[in-house]
Amino acid sequence: MYIVSNFVKVTVPNYLAGLPIPDSFGGWFRLGVKDWLALIPPTIVIGGISYYSYQTIKQARAFGRINTMIRLDEKKVVDFVEIEDIGEKMSLCRCWKSKKWPLCDGAHGPHNRATGDNTGPVVIRRVKPEENK
Ligand code: FES
């Protein structure tokens, strides 16, 4: 724990205190090449943290709602499938990523790999009476 404590309380503050950050706006224009080079690593770290935070917030907002692309102008997405249209089997999308909505087009696969989710379709199949025993 001492290593972490020392890093946070001593090493980082000393490093930041040693950065050539000017006291005034005009001071930025008087920095030399060596000063600018010294500012690159913390700029990359701050930029990386900012980018990662932005992506995390963006994903959190996107995952806040289930439907992010299907008929967003409608108050509620409701579909009817006629039983006669089912045939032997029909796969209905439950991940809300299908471009053939309400049918599954396999888009749940890339979604599951990208997010760690485990969504999949509901498969409706016609069972012959003799198979249903
Ligand atoms: Fe959505 Fe398959 S595409 S469940």
Judge if the beta carbon of residue 121 lies within 6 A of ligand 1. yes
Tens digit of pLDDT for each residue in 1-17? 889 999 999 999 999 99
Name the helix (H) or strand (E) containing 56: helix 33-64
Mean pLDDT of 114-124: 94
From ligand 1's centre to the CA of 79, what distance in Å? 15
Count Cβ atoms within 10 A of the Cβ of residue 125 and give its class: 0-12 exposed, 13-18 middle, 19 or more buried: exposed
99 belongs to the catalytic site: no
Judge if the beta carbon of residue 107 lies within 6 A of ligand 1. yes
Tens digit of pLDDT for each residue in 49-81? 999 999 888 877 766 788 889 999 999 999 999
